[in-house]
Amino acid sequence: MKIATGLSVIASMLLASNAATAANVDANKSKAAAQPAQKKVRAVNVMTPEQAKASLGRSACVARCAVN
């Protein structure tokens, strides 16, 4: 079975699916590219190690990394 392009229906179906996948991936990339603004806002809030430690409200916690 041939279609106008000279390719079979199956070949056309695969090419169309590949193109649709690529378009969808590109769309998601564009969407992700729009997110850095949001990430940037979050990044401003990133603390230094000293600030992070102080934010926990305790001077020290001795954690034994052991069981299980």
Give the interface with another protein as residue ranges (CB under 8 A): 7-11, 13-15, 17-18, 21-22, 24-25, 28, 38-39, 42-43, 46-47, 49-53, 55-56, 58-68
Nearer to another protein, 34 or 58 (CB): 58
In whole angstroms, how close is the CB of 22 to another protein at the nearest point? 7
Question: Are 23 and 30 a contacting pair, CB within 8 Å?
Answer: no
Radius of gyration of the chain (CA): 26
* Least gap, CB of 39 to another protein (angstroms): 6
Distance, in Å, from the CA atom of 29 to the CA atom of 35, rounded to the nearest integer, reads 10
